[in-house]
Each structure stands twice: as structure tokens, then as C-alpha cells.
């Protein structure tokens, strides 16, 4: 949360925040680059641990009770995103710009997880793995921005800025792969359950952590070679 707050402060107080992206290697500095880059760990950890927390909460609830809790909490988060948090970002009392941000996708993921928890654990893990490792296979699918299908696809997978007359919606966090991240977090919760060996848990987490870092470097390296980072026509990286 401190790292994420640091990035948001940069958005407001860094003189060049709206002139270039801090990850633009042609313009940024080493310190600025890593100040922004390190925040890429924040949203995945937030959503992963939300799934883990749901699992732990479910140890004290029935499946139906947990599902009801997740749906209510998810709806509440979506409402907060588009009201209190929206105003905190833009200070615009006319609410002409809405963002489907990380709080929105946390809420949607909780609502989806409310249905997943009735499935066998292996199925939940399978859904999570397919979403996380397979979502880039959908990168070539596009819909016109000014259609309902374009709007829905923007919420599901592709970042867009969608106009509704004078109102614009920035679709920044998509259902795929974030719902999958929360599903994996739910499965991860089993190693935090009472009675699980602490030494074994540390070993599993270390292996997962190191493996994820290595995979990240490999995948990003391949992506950078084939497609150097650039701004797309939505204004998003």
C-alpha cells in the first residue's frame, strides 16, 4: 500500500507526470523508472491476497454464507470505485469521467469468485491458470469502440476509453485475467489454513515467488524484443 501510494503521489506532484510515461526509457530516469515499475507488483498482490482472504474467511462460514458475503462486498467496492474514489481522483462534481480501476475489478472478481467456490478446488485452479497464462491469446481480438460489444470487450479484456456523449469511461482493469488471479489466490489460501506446516508453506511461497520472477523476466523479455513498449490510441500503455 505504501508503494502504491508513492506512485499515486507521483501522479499528482511530479512535474512531468502528464507529459511522458515514467516507463518511457527514452525520457525517464533510473529512479523514476523504478518508482513506477515496482508498483506493478501492487495490484496483482492486492487481488491475489483478496482471494486468499476469501478462502480464510470461508473457514468460518458455509459456502452460501461466503458467496453472499463476496457478492455484497463486490457490489460495494464497485459503488465506491465510481463514487468516492472517482471523486478523489478527479475532484469533478459533474462526474464526466469514470474509471474501471483496480477497486472495480476487485469487486467484479469477488462476485465471480462467489460462483467459483462451489466448484472443486482443481477446477478453480484450472480456471485461474487458464486466465492468467492464456489471456494474451486474446490480444488480437478487437471490437469497435462505439458499440456495445466494444464496451463489453473493453471490460472483459481490452483497455479502452469509451464515450457516452459527454461522459467517458476508462476501462483500465479487465475481468480477464484479474478474475483468474483472485481464483488462484483462493486456491493459495489452503496453505495458510490451520494445521498446514509452516516450513512447507515458506518453501512453497519461495518457490512460487522465485519462479514467478523468472517467468516474468522471460515473458517480458520476449515481448520487448517482438513489440517494444509504446502508447496505444487509448492513452494506456
SS (H, E, C) the chain: CHHHHHHHHHHHHCCCCCCCCCCCCCCCCHHHHHHHHHHHHHHHHHHHHHHHHHHHHHCCCCHHHHHHHHHHHHHHHHHHHHHHHHHHHHCCCCCCEEEECHHHHHHHHHHHHHHHCCCCHHHHHHHHHHHHHHHHHHCCCCCCCCCHHHHHHHHHCCCEEEEECCEEEEECCCHHHHHHHHHHHHHHHHHHCCCCCHHHHHHHHHHHHHHHHHHHHHHHHHHHHHCCCCCCCCCCC
Q: In this structure, is residue 232 part of a structural domain?
A: no
Domain-embedded: residue 39: yes
The total number of structural domains in the chain stands at 1
Domain range for residue 220?
A: 2-226
What pLDDT, on the 0 to 100 scale, is given for residue 39? 87
* pLDDT score at 235: 39
**Residue 187 forms part of a structural domain:** yes
Q: What is the pTM of this model?
A: 0.86
77 within some domain:
yes
Q: Return averaged pLDDT per consecutive 10 residues of the chain, 237 residues in all.
A: 85 78 85 86 92 94 95 96 91 89 94 96 95 89 83 89 85 92 95 91 94 87 69 41
Domain-located, residue 12: yes
pLDDT at 236: 38
Amino acid at each position: 500500500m505504501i508503494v502504491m501510494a508513492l506512485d499515486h503521489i507521483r501522479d499528482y506532484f511530479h512535474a512531468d507526470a502528464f507529459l511522458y510515461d515514467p516507463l518511457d526509457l527514452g525520457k525517464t530516469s533510473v529512479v523514476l523508472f523504478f518508482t513506477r515499475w515496482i508498483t506493478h507488483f501492487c495490484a496483482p498482490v492486492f487481488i491475489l491476497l483478496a482471494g486468499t482472504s476469501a478462502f480464510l474467511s470461508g473457514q468460518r462460514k458455509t459456502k452460501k454464507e461466503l458467496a453472499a458475503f463476496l457478492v455484497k462486498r463486490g457490489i460495494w467496492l464497485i459503488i465506491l470505485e465510481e463514487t468516492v474514489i472517482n471523486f478523489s481522483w478527479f475532484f469533478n462534481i459533474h462526474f464526466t469521467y469514470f474509471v474501471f480501476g483496480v477497486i472495480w475489478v476487485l469487486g467484479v472478481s469477488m462476485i465471480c469468485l462467489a460462483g467459483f467456490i462451489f466448484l472443486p478446488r482443481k477446477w478453480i485452479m484450472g480456471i485461474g491458470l487458464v486466465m492468467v497464462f492464456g489471456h494474451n491469446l486474446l490480444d488480437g481480438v478487437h471490437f469497435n469502440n462505439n458499440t456495445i460489444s466494444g464496451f463489453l470487450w473493453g471490460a472483459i479484456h481490452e483497455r479502452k476509453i469509451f464515450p457516452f456523449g459527454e461522459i467517458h469511461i476508462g476501462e483500465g482493469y479487465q475481468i480477464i485475467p484479474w478474475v483468474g488471479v483472485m481464483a488462484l489466490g483462493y486456491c493459495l489460501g489452503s496453505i495458510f489454513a490451520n494445521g498446514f506446516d509452516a516450513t512447507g508453506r515458506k518453501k512453497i511461497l519461495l518457490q512460487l515467488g522465485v519462479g514467478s520472477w523468472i517467468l516474468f523476466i522471460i515473458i517480458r523479455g520476449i515481448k520487448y524484443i517482438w513489440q517494444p513498449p509504446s502508447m496505444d490510441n487509448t492513452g494506456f500503455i
